[in-house]
């Protein structure tokens, strides 16, 4: 389930700590970049992981999903039946909207909660991993810096097929529903080119981290 959250509640943290966005198309390498940033000390808040958390067994969204869509959409282990829900929302825009009306407010609240907790624990900057950042309205306006992970469409398809059970057609459908590559590149402050191996990716992220530390240095409350 892709996440498209509105971050208006993050306004409270603007000017207090650098708010960094990280986006890219499906399979572009967002998680790989986030993982390296976390190793370097960044506080990473991944809205996809939050979406999974609220739809896991005993997740915050499960009661409302069961009430609205029926127990059929809840798997035996108590989590959302993702394959079944994916099939429904791809063919039914009304169902997609209803699912989003349940999940998005919860994702927003959890995102803010995680951000505040990271700030209180002394984070140097906050990185929000948001797959549909450009598609979801006003994220761009609250961010101090936007990182876009880019690769060739064919690389995206190969990586996602290798990692998941999705077919080429399914991956292409998801890609078609996302912002275009040029829209993402136009919005970026920093583009991470993820064409080579993971080692080369880490070198780029190390340079990026230095840049983000400089942004941190411009904040009055920085150490
Ligand atoms: P999604 O949008 O589906 O969550 P993502 O943008 O977070 O994907 P990753 O999960 O980081 O992308 O990468 C997709 C897959 O490709 C993973 O299996 C990852 O290990 C692999 N991958 C990413 N970058 C590289 C690379 N430079 N070289 C080799 N494999 C890579």
Residue 24 region, left (φ>0) first, then alpha (ψ -120 to 50), else beta? left
Residue 64 CB neighbour total at 10 angstroms: 16
Ligand 1 in reach of 26 Cβ (< 6 A): yes
Q: How confident is the model at residue 219, as a pLDDT?
A: 86
Rounded CA separation 174/28 (Å): 13
Among the listed residues 68, 63, 88, the one whose alpha carbon sits nearest the alpha carbon of residue 78: 63
**DSSP class of 80:** B
Cα 33 to ligand 1 centroid, rounded to whole Å: 9
Mean pLDDT for all residues in the chain: 93
Residue 7 has pLDDT above 70, yes or no: no
Q: Could you tell me if 146 and 21 are in contact, meaning their C-beta atoms sit under 8 angstroms apart?
A: yes
From 159, 161, 202, 204, mutation site for ligand 1 pocket: most ligand atoms within 8 A of C-beta: 159
Q: How confident is the model at residue 38, as a pLDDT?
A: 97
Cα 114 to ligand 1 centroid, rounded to whole Å: 24
Q: How confident is the model at residue 179, as a pLDDT?
A: 95
Cα 170 to ligand 1 centroid, rounded to whole Å: 17
Is 16-42+124-214 assigned to CATH 3.40.50.300? yes
Among the listed residues 25, 57, 38, 1, the one whose alpha carbon sits nearest the alpha carbon of residue 183: 25
From 24, 28, 30, 32, mutation site for ligand 1 pocket: most ligand atoms within 8 A of C-beta: 32
Per-residue pLDDT tens digits for 24-59: 999 999 999 999 999 999 999 999 999 999 999 999
Ligand 1 in reach of 216 Cβ (< 6 A): no
Residue 6 has pLDDT above 90, yes or no: no
Per-residue pLDDT tens digits for 66-121: 999 999 999 999 999 999 999 999 889 999 999 999 999 999 899 999 999 999 99
Minimum-distance ligand 1 atom for the alpha carbon of 201 = 27
Which amino acid residue places its CA nearest to atom 8 of ligand 1? 27
The pLDDT > 90 percentage for the chain reads 84
Ligand 1 in reach of 156 Cβ (< 6 A): no
Residue 142 has pLDDT above 60, yes or no: yes
Q: How would residue 145 be classed by pLDDT, with cut points 50, 70 and 90?
A: very high
């Amino acid at each position: 389930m892709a996440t498209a959250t509105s971050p208006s509640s993050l306004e409270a943290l603007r000017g207090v700590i650098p708010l960094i966005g990280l986006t890219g198309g499906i399979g572009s390498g967002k998680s790989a970049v986030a993982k390296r940033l976390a190793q370097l000390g960044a506080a990473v808040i991944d809205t996809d992981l939050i979406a999974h958390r609220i739809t896991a067994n005993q997740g915050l969204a499960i009661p409302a999903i069961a009430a609205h869509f029926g127990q059929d959409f809840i798997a035996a282990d108590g989590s959302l039946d993702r394959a079944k829900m994916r099939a429904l929302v791809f063919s039914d825009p009304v169902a997609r909207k209803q699912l989003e009306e349940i999940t998005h407010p919860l994702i927003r609240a959890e995102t803010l909660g995680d951000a505040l907790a990271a700030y209180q624990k002394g984070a140097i900057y906050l990185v929000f991993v948001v797959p549909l950042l450009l598609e979801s309205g006003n994220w761009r306006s609250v961010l101090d810096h936007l990182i876009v992970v880019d690769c060739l469409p064919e690389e995206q398809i190969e990586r996602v097929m290798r990692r998941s059970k999705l077919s080429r057609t399914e991956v292409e459908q998801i890609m078609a529903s996302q912002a275009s590559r040029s829209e993402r590149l136009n919005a970026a402050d920093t583009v991470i080119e993820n064409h080579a191996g993971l080692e080369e990716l880490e070198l780029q992220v190390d340079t990026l981290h230095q840049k983000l530390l400089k942004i941190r240095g411009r904040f009055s409350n920085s150490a």
